[in-house]
């Protein structure tokens, strides 16, 4: 079997690696002419995502390790604490680079400048046509082409579009701010607005936050506005909140800002010989901290299904059954978190330790403990 994997971001390379492990020949076709080195901000890979990446051959030797989540208010009071397995916080650029090294080592073909525009799905195979006029044929086509997926549109022209959640995301680093933390903890501060931060091994504080802005902006439009203007807006939004005030005073750049988006439920994940994986099928909002992890899990599950089930439509249907409840549960929880990230009221703040103890911590641990048994036979 030969698989055409459309999209060379995160899900694409993981899918190709997992397919190769399943004995299926895979090639990756990426729209951009160049590699994405240095592009993007920070993302978290949770323990469940690290386990899926390990199956695909990528060890958790990237980024910085994190073990605890600490919820705090803007006066520095701890509201709750969750200890899970070890996650890794990493720039998208580094994760992408590691996956690229792995695909090169495994001699998986990754072609750039191949923007998919059309698919012909026949009884005996599938042919992808790219904007440069070239085409490729295979047995299955995997749409790992992100939140604005062309494959999703081809599978179902009525498929929903990503939704802007009303928040712009920003990240940066603060030097010599006087703010410190346990290096293995990520802190989530619920004040006038929401702010997350952690201390890096070099002592700098990495932080990320959201700004409620009703009209969406693209990452390019955001990048056209000077960093100092965004930082000033954030300083006004946070006022005297701690540690935001100190971190913003000691930051001079904004890294990888972009609109926070999520995919509403995608009704069709597959059709004929085409199937979706990663953000094209299920992009929970960034609040979940699970986007890249779920993409890796889906890639591995798809490879298992194609390994064990000969009939392609049945393999795709089984893959969807395995994945849909999990990814939609996490997306729903992330949507609830978004409303908290606009800032929480005094009552919620008071109840936060209890809420975290009973609901948050339980769901969080369950999400992180999910493991795929690669060797187990997939049953229909």
Ligand X SMILES: Cc1cc2nc3c(=O)[nH]c(=O)nc-3n(C[C@H](O)[C@H](O)[C@H](O)COP(=O)(O)OP(=O)(O)OC[C@H]3O[C@@H](n4cnc5c(N)ncnc54)[C@H](O)[C@@H]3O)c2cc1C
Residues that bind ligand X (CB under 6 A): 6-12, 29-32, 36, 39-43, 92, 114-116, 144-147, 150, 256, 278-279, 283, 286, 291-292, 295
Q: Which is nearer to ligand X, 136 or 145 (CB)?
A: 145
Specify whether the backbone of 157 is left (phi greater than 0), alpha (psi in -120 to 50) or beta.
Answer: alpha
Handedness of CA 236, 239, 242, 245 (dihedral sign): positive
Distance of closest approach, residue 148 Cβ to ligand X, in angstroms: 6
Q: Which is nearer to ligand X, 84 or 256 (CB)?
A: 256
Distance of closest approach, residue 3 Cβ to ligand X, in angstroms: 14
187 C-beta neighbours (distance < 10 Å), count: 22
Q: Which is nearer to ligand X, 114 or 307 (CB)?
A: 114
Q: Decide if 338 contacts 194 (C-beta within 8 A).
A: no
Q: Which is nearer to ligand X, 73 or 136 (CB)?
A: 136
- CA-wise closest residue to 319 among 277, 288, 284: 277
Distance of closest approach, residue 7 Cβ to ligand X, in angstroms: 3
Distance of closest approach, residue 99 Cβ to ligand X, in angstroms: 10
Q: What is the 3-state secondary structure (H, E, C) of 236-272?
A: HHHCCCCCHHHHHHCCCCCCCCEEEEECCCCCCCEEC
Q: Which is nearer to ligand X, 176 or 200 (CB)?
A: 200
Distance of closest approach, residue 42 Cβ to ligand X, in angstroms: 6
Q: Which is nearer to ligand X, 22 or 295 (CB)?
A: 295
Peptide bond into 362 cis (omega under 30): no
Residue nearest to ligand X (CB): 9
Q: How far apart are CA 207 and CA 205, in angstroms?
A: 6
Q: Give phi and psi for 370, each to the nearest 5.
A: -65, 130
Q: Which is nearer to ligand X, 45 or 234 (CB)?
A: 45
Q: Which is nearer to ligand X, 210 or 352 (CB)?
A: 210
Distance of closest approach, residue 363 Cβ to ligand X, in angstroms: 20
Handedness of CA 311, 124, 297, 160 (dihedral sign): negative
3-state secondary structure at position 129: strand
Distance of closest approach, residue 370 Cβ to ligand X, in angstroms: 17
Q: Which is nearer to ligand X, 7 or 343 (CB)?
A: 7
Distance of closest approach, residue 241 Cβ to ligand X, in angstroms: 23
Q: Which is nearer to ligand X, 41 or 343 (CB)?
A: 41
3-state secondary structure at position 75: coil
Distance of closest approach, residue 325 Cβ to ligand X, in angstroms: 19
What is the maximal distance between C-alpha atoms in the chain?
A: 65
Which whole-number Å values give the CA distances from 333 to 40, 290, 330, 341, in the listed order?
A: 24, 11, 5, 13
With vertex at residue 376, the alpha carbon angle to CA 375 and CA 378, rounded to the nearest 5 degrees, is: 125
Only one residue has tokens 């390019």, namely 220
Only one residue has tokens 């890796």, namely 296
Distance of closest approach, residue 1 Cβ to ligand X, in angstroms: 21
Only one residue has tokens 């992408």, namely 96
Angle between helices 312-341 and 361-369 (to 10 degrees): 150
The secondary structure of residue 33, as a DSSP letter, is: S
The secondary structure of residue 286, as a DSSP letter, is: G
């Amino acid at each position: 079997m030969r698989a055409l994997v459309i999209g060379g971001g995160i899900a694409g390379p993981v899918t190709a690696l997992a397919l190769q492990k399943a004995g299926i020949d895979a090639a990756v076709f990426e729209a951009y002419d160049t590699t994405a080195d240095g592009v993007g901000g920070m993302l978290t890979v949770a323990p469940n995502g690290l386990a899926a990446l390990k199956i695909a051959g990528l060890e958790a030797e990237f980024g910085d390790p994190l073990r605890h989540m600490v919820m705090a208010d803007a006066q520095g009071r701890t509201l709750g604490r969750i200890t899970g397995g070890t996650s890794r916080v990493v720039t998208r650029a580094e994760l992408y680079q590691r996956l690229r090294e792995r695909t090169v080592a495994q001699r998986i073909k990754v072609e750039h400048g191949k923007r998919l525009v059309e698919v012909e799905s026949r009884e005996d195979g599938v042919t992808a046509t790219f904007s440069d006029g070239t085409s490729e044929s295979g047995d299955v086509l995997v749409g790992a082409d992100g939140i604005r997926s062309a494959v999703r549109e081809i599978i179902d022209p009525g498929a929903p579009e990503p939704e802007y959640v009303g928040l712009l995301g920003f990240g940066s680093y603060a030097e010599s701010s006087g703010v410190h933390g346990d290096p293995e903890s990520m802190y989530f501060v619920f004040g006038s607005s929401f702010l997350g931060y952690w201390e890096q091994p070099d002592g700098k504080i990495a932080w990320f936050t959201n700004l409620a802005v009703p009209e969406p902006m693209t990452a390019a439009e955001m990048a056209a506005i000077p960093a100092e203007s965004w930082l000033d807006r954030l300083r006004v939004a946070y006022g005297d909140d701690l540690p935001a005030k100190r971190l913003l005073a000691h930051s001079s750049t904004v890294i990888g800002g972009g609109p926070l988006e999520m995919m509403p439920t995608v009704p069709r994940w597959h059709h004929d010989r085409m199937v979706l994986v990663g953000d094209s099928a299920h992009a929970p909002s960034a609040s979940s901290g699970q986007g890249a992890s779920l993409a890796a899990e889906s890639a591995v599950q798809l490879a298992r299904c194609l390994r064990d089930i000969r009939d392609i439509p049945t393999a795709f249907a089984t893959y969807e059954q395995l994945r849909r409840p999990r990814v939609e549960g996490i997306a729903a929880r992330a949507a609830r978190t978004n409303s908290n990230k606009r800032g929480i009221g005094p009552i919620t703040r008071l109840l936060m330790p209890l809420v975290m103890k009973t609901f948050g911590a339980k769901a969080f641990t369950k999400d992180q403990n999910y493991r795929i048994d690669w060797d187990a036979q997939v049953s229909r």
